[in-house]
Chain A
Amino acid sequence: MKNTIYFTTAILLAAFFSACNGNLLETIPTDRISTEIYWETEKDATYAANSVYRYLDGITIVDYDGLTDILHSNIPFYDNGTIERGDYNSNTPKIYDQWVYLYKGIRAANNFLENVDKVTTTNTTLINSLKSEMRVIRAYLYVRLVMLWGDVPLVTKTIANISVGQSVTRNTTAEIWTFIGSELDACASILPLNQTEKGRITKGAALALKARVLLYQNKWLESANAAKSVMDLNKYSLYPKYEDLFSTVGENNVEIILDKQFIKDIYSNNAFQYLGPYSQKNANCNFVPTKRMIDSYTMSNGKSISDPTSGFDKDNPYENRDPRLKFSVFVKGSKLPDSKIYDPTPGSKTLDEVGSTYLATVLGFNIKKYVNSDDLSNISNCGINIILIRYAEILLTYAEGKIESDQIDQSVYDAINSIRQGRNDVKLPTIVSGLSKAELRTIVRNERMVELAFEGLRLFDLRRWKTAETEIPGFVEGMTYKNTSGAYVTIKLDGFLKIFDASKHYLWPIPKKEIDLNSNLKQNTGW
């Protein structure tokens, strides 16, 4: 009898405990959203589109210039230094990371385009605008891919399974340019001229990107026409203060055509920390301007400093120069965000002193664009928007397109001169008409380099001009200063030789990891 009681109790006990957890094996996560329940409302569409904007370039856009003659990677053991030295290969992590990042953005855009029509809404204007915004972002990312690698797989639908991903092939550059062109044309006709929310892609952005894309293809006249269509929108103009273009007060100004938007605390960047001088809270100064960059700024009279009549004063090398020099670069005597005076001269005993540590600038210059004193309090939490396309570029694209297509007329001079004179704080002598194509080419190229310095365009300009092998190689040089015995010394990094091998360096290698997974991907020549 007793046994029966025990037995029954035990069975009941066991049954009780087992019954507690009927759904034990069907756990539902609460920390993420299922794709199955998504794509129902208009809100879902907007939110999905918002996240794709994250794939636009941020402050690391400077890296592209960092791989050219105008900047030097101050942290030599990072991949940027390796690429600068020409020592990179298909295993270099940066190459792979960049590849993956771009395709992640493309996938996000594709995913949006495939799913957005599931949303029930009557607001077709919104949906159509969002679709076009995504297509422009996708095109923007493809421009990067083509310019970095040449032929790349053109993925316009999400790849659902791995085996499909392992069999894609490289489309020709021409195919991709065509795709980008038709996409931008289509979107430009749909997108509104003005978006309520600043930072959204507009008609102007699509047209401006188209101008850039055509320039990259050396389709000179077409690019000039595209640039003209942006000019004709009568929406954009040069911002009166070059000095403020890259500061918080200059955000969303009339010159900005496309930017990546940031806001402190919520979606911030680390621009100050990334670029700022070491003395400013141990900022990292990832890249520092080279002598080549500094020397490209003319005297305020418009003459090159190498011109004996320019009035260049070796003892005050940064005085009476193109004002954009001091707006873009910290040079000896510049006021730092913390109100101290920048002095990197060896022996100055400041934290920025060249040679005092490998963390401070090794060349005696630091980038000033995007390094704002209002971010000094927290240098890794910056809200500054990063400009991706601005009107000055359009003017220069117009000029270059016209020059190269032999359609040199007054509008070319006007475009260039408006950049040299069109602002309150940049007043350089006008370029007087009557110059040859070659002379104008030199001027417009130098103007691009100076006006758009550190904005991520130089690498691609050198690639399309095919001048990288003459511009890039050589020992890295920095500031010239008077040493204790009164002699002028120019800093030269003898141990750091920039290398550009024209036989292969015009394109990056396809990442080895990617080829390992997909034998259809053939490596670029030379790698």
Chain B
Amino acid sequence: MKKNDPKQRHRGRPALRKMLKIMKLTTLLFFIALFQVSAKSYSQETKLSLKFENETLENVFSKIEANSEFSIFYKNDLIKNSKEVTGEFKDALIINILDEVLKSENLTYNIKDKLIMIVPKDVNGININSQQQKSVSGKVTDQTGASVPGASVVIKGTTTGVITDNSGNYSLSNIPENAILQFSFVGMKMVEIATEGKITINVKLEDETIGVEEVVVVGYGTQKKVSSTSPVSQLKGDEMARRPVTNAQQSLQGLAPGVTIVDNGGSPGRSAATIRVRGITTLSGNNDPLVLVDGIEQRIDDINPSDIDNVSILKDAASTAIYGSRAANGVVLVTTKRGKKDQISINYSGYVAMQEANNNPKHMGLEDYMRYQNLAYTNVGMLPLYAEETIQTWVTSTDRIKYPLPNVWFDKVYKKAPQFDHNLSISGGGEKIQGRASIRWQEQNGIVSSVFNKINEARVNLDFNPYSKLKISADLNYRQNYSRNGSTTFTLWHYLYHGSQWAVPRYPDGTYGISKQGHSPLLYNDMAGSDKLNRGMLVANLKFDLEILPHLKFNTQYSLRNDNNVQKIFNNSFQVYDYTDKSKLLKNVDKNTLNENRDVINEITLTSLLNYERIIEKNEFKFLAGYSEISNKQNYLSGYREYFYNNDIQSISMGSDNNKNITGYDSEWGLKSYFGRINYIYNEKYIFETNSRWDGSSRFTGSNVYAFFPSVSGAWRISKEGFWNKSNKLFNELKLRASWGKSGNQAIPLYEFYPALISAPYTFSDKLAQGYLQENMSNADLTWETTTQTNIGFDSQLFKQKVTLSFDWYKKITDGILLSLPIPGVIGLNAPKQNAGVIENKGVELMIGYRGKSKQLSWDISGNVAYNKNEVISLEGTGPYITTSSVDPMTIRAEGLPIDSNWGYLVDGFFQTAEEVAGYPTLFANTKPGDTKYVDRNKDGKITPDDMTNLGNSFPNYTFGLTSTLKYKNFDFFWQWQGAADVAVRLSGALSEMGNQEGFTHEIYTNNVWTVDNPNSRFPRPTKFSLNNVQSSEMLIYDGSYLRLKTLQLGYNVPATFLAKTFVKSARFTLSATNLLTFSKLNEWNLDPEFPSGRAAYYPQTTIYSIGFNFQF
């Protein structure tokens, strides 16, 4: 048994290994920095001895290159008329040589590391290198005159620069004549000032006004935010990467109105967070928004948050129609960071975090539980389970081996778990090539030891500018995500609550205790097996941008994505013997099994765009025409074997030859689309835009293959009108917007239109008899779902641009919803998808931001609220469709109700007397006083499913978020609140069973159940093995509204003066906490508010504390 115990195998090791990894990374960083320092001094230290006799400059340069590590760049035109050179140099510095050979030419040079650039002298004939270099100093202030410490002052085109001190002063020496200084500070507009021989330059920086010049990413392009006609939420990568998240979608939570992220926990690497943009639009299939990373469709989970430059969320039809049939649920556009010219920087960021489970339900106390069980038994006419003396002995005993506590699993199984994340990136470039490369290493331990996750990924983004009119971008992203979960047959999460009472977790000799029902979540966690998933993703992307004519650009992008998932689910064999009698086998799982799955998806996307942009006087025109193709191929293979030699021999060939199985399939789909956009702006005031897409999909057949998705939108910048500025001091900017359009949803299983037979064998005479059977009904008339959306809103800036305010109202109607409407059972086939039904989402979104600043302090606050009302308008007269289990959460799809509303009986307290029971209809024949009184809504004298009613939304109607940043000197403080309201959750399983089926019994029931003496209790009388009080009813429904302090973060930037003498450009440290404080009705159940309705049998949400580091070199 010890052999199989993973805990024993790795004892004490992980910490050391992690430490070594950190050390290796640090060393690497150090060498990179060192290398940069030494490179700078090459030109000052290297001495050359050379001789030239009547040689052309070309030869001279070749000789220099041959005798040194310098590389010399020049345009041939420059030297074609140069004079021949003669001269001799001994141990000369490169600048001396160059000064000499170029003295009679109209040329000068720039030296950067080992690169020498030969350039023409400027008009004054001044050689910048040979002139005396000067010093400049001054002070940087903001609009109010307050000094700005920490602002950077950089000589344009170089990496030379300083950072202002605490009083905002700076001093920069060795500045070439005619240099341009760039002054910048986060949140302020960059200012460039030519030195022009000045010795003192004071600069006033202005706040970067949000919106006015800001550019937002939209479908197949960018737009100035002021001329956007759609409510686009754009988030900066830096904002998103603030808290230690494992995936990008968690970091979106609470930041954008109308974007609801429900984090249903999920184990690391298998996140269960869902994104919904403006509600749920479809009943079946996919409600996820389309996620495009640099134009390539991807899972949002598969993006390194640190690689994100910005995220645009397109919500209305005007902005999404251009994505046609995939855009009904909104579009998330992710743009990754790219290298910039002349700014080589190395950046390290990382964090160390500690995670803690958020679901820690508390079990009833020992004595309370025993008496409670007795009550439950006697309530159904059985004898009490525990005699009084048993209770006394049990309670007073200190021997918890002989007298175990009823349920201590949460303490034994959950543990604090560390998480590490390291990101290293280098970016920079020259005229012709710019690049950025990054690597990330993340390791996340689960809050139970069977869960583990590791991510390794690298991204290289390169831009080439071979000619002024051509730009070629080549990106490569490779990612490996290894995640391990526990056994799939004995799911720990289920057994934490169910069937695990009264076991000693582990005996002194290490033997596992098991409950009377034969279970132990701890045993299952440690020994029952593992589910290991290796997700590999490779994305390659090649993009050409070409200016064909002035104003006309052509752009084509070809990208490949390969998903390669390998999963091994190995369920162990194991035995548990009795602690006291080792010969007694208590639990015998003698079969170990392996399911090994390979899932390979190859997707090729080709997009070509033609862009025409022209400004003629006050008229600004933009035209876009595009063509796109997506081809997706999938191959799935799954193998099964059992009875392996032992649990460590996990290769599929080592299983028994009996009962092995291999299955798999191939599938493919394609999308072919034509799309276009016209923008017209008159006098920066009147903005008009239209988008449309003609999409063809292989998922449909006949005339349904192609569909058209149009949109129109317009905006009016009232604040640009002449009458406005003079009369209105309050609004600096006000723009009214309106849009209308259609988008579609094609996310249905493949080949739905295709009547097909599947393999369904039988057997005769103990031999296989092959068989084929049609199981599913086909529907050749299947077509797209279409979502028509109208949006009206405004964007504004008030109070000298300190306040920004946006508001939107929308109405989204989805028609022809692809729905597996139940079909009559008499047909004898499974229901096909049908275009049936209409769903409406209506809502408003409000976003308000404020930015303030005083001498030492700056702060900004941004809040958003969204309301979305969902309603099923039509199911074409059918329905309602109700999930059938009554003990698990029941939901309904019915006309007039929100999708998947909770469904069940109303409750009118508990029956108090036998007379009351006799005088009112009951659901169960053996109803007694203290049982739940289900309401006979239709007053037909019977309690039947017809008495059930709507018990609340399963998806929140309100979502809100508030973020605020405070900066004081080198400190900054950030917090984010986030929440949802008007949502109901339903408890089931052990949580709601009240100890009925020997499940986890929450302490909330203590002295809170109905008895004759306690008739006003909160809960009904406890019973055994009866379902009387656990029927789907409002008794089990809780208000799922919550408000939580999602993130709290304190940051410290090391002052520039400290760093001046080091190779570190900037250093930042942060302390943060996630999910620190929550207000929710579910707190009394010790459940996280984002708890999904049900049994809580899942990997829970966590509270995370972290320390973060960020260094720039």
Contact = CB atoms under 8 A, between A and B. Distances in A.
Nearest to B828: A107
A1 interface: no
B465 interface: no
Contact of B826 (A30, A33, A159, A499): A159
B556 A54 contact: no
B157 interface: no
Contact of A198 (B380, B660, B764, B774): B764
Contacts of B1026: 76, 495
A512 B882 CA distance: 10
B363 interface: no
B613 to A, nearest CB: 17
B545 to A, nearest CB: 10
A495 B672 contact: no
A212 B696 CA distance: 58
Contacts of A48: 771-773
A87 B925 contact: yes
A263 interface: yes
B587 A54 contact: no
B880 A263 contact: no
A101 to B, nearest CB: 9
A357 B672 contact: no
B81 interface: no
B756 A33 contact: yes
Interface in B360-417: 380-382
* Interface hub of B515, B631, B777, B884 (most chain A Cβ within 10 A): B884
B887 interface: yes
Nearest to B948: A91
A267 interface: yes
A478 to B, nearest CB: 14
Interface stretch (A5-13, A184-192, A290-298, A462-470): A5-13
B825 A96 contact: yes
B826 A199 contact: no
Interface in B792-830: 822-829
B549 interface: yes
B711 to A, nearest CB: 24
Contacts of A7: 548, 554
Contacts of A320: none
B198 interface: no
Contacts of A518: 824, 826
A66 interface: no
A261 B380 contact: no
B765 A33 contact: no
A91 B886 contact: yes
A104 B828 contact: yes
A392 B231 CA distance: 78
Contact of B828 (A25, A96, A103): A103
B754 A34 contact: yes
B879 A516 contact: yes
A48 B775 CA distance: 12
A14 B546 CA distance: 13
Nearest to B946: A512
Interface string B590-630: 11000000000000001010000000000000000001010
Contact of B824 (A26, A166, A197): A166
A199 B1026 CA distance: 42
B768 interface: yes
A494 to B, nearest CB: 4
A108 interface: yes
A381 to B, nearest CB: 6
Contacts of B775: 104
Contacts of A31: 665-667
B827 A159 contact: yes
A27 interface: yes
Contact of B945 (A30, A34, A89): A89
B75 to A, nearest CB: 17
Interface residues of A, number: 101
Contacts of B757: 32-35, 38
B880 A103 contact: no
A24 B670 contact: yes
B382 to A, nearest CB: 5
B548 to A, nearest CB: 5
A100 B823 CA distance: 10
B222 interface: no
B824 A165 contact: yes
Interface string A107-127: 110110000000000000000
Interface in B681-739: 696-698, 705
B7 interface: no
A10 B606 contact: no
Contacts of A251: 766
Contacts of A511: 825
B650 interface: no
A103 B827 contact: yes
Contacts of B658: 264-265
Contacts of A495: 380-382, 1023-1026
B669 interface: yes
A197 B769 contact: yes
A86 interface: yes
A282 B764 contact: no
A167 B1077 CA distance: 57
Nearest to B666: A30
B645 interface: no
Contacts of B93: none
Contacts of B827: 103, 107, 159, 162, 165
B608 A14 contact: yes
B852 interface: no
A436 to B, nearest CB: 38
A364 B932 CA distance: 33
Nearest to B670: A24
A267 B761 contact: yes
Contacts of B764: 50, 197-200, 261
B668 A27 contact: yes
A257 B770 CA distance: 23
Interface string A13-41: 11001101100111101111111101000
B662 interface: no
Contacts of B880: 516
Contact of A162 (B591, B670, B824, B945): B824
Contacts of B382: 494-495
A50 B766 contact: no
B582 interface: no
B87 interface: no
Interface in A471-504: 494-497, 499
A205 interface: no
B763 A10 contact: no
A47 B757 CA distance: 11
B549 A3 contact: yes
A442 interface: no
Interface string B870-911: 000000001110101111000000000000000000000000
Given A200-B764, A281-B588, A6 B756 contact: no
Given A10-B544, A107-B828, 20 more contacts: A10-B548, A17-B556, A17-B606, A17-B608, A24-B631, A24-B672, A27-B750, A29-B751, A29-B754, A31-B665, A33-B756, A33-B757, A35-B755, A35-B774, A46-B769, A54-B771, A85-B924, A252-B765, A261-B762, A516-B822
Interface of A: 3, 6-7, 10, 13-14, 17-18, 20-21, 24-27, 29-36, 38, 44, 46-54, 76-77, 82, 85-87, 89-93, 96, 99-100, 103-108, 110-111, 153, 155, 158-159, 162, 165-166, 168, 197-200, 251-252, 261-268, 278, 281-282, 351, 356-359, 377-378, 381, 383, 494-497, 499, 511-514, 516-518
Q: Which 6 A-B pairs have the closest CB atoms?
A: A107-B828, A51-B771, A495-B380, A24-B670, A50-B771, A31-B665
22 contacts: A25-B671, A27-B668, A29-B751, A29-B754, A34-B757, A35-B774, A48-B773, A53-B769, A87-B1027, A96-B825, A103-B825, A103-B826, A107-B829, A111-B774, A159-B828, A168-B826, A267-B763, A281-B589, A358-B998, A497-B925, A497-B926, A513-B825
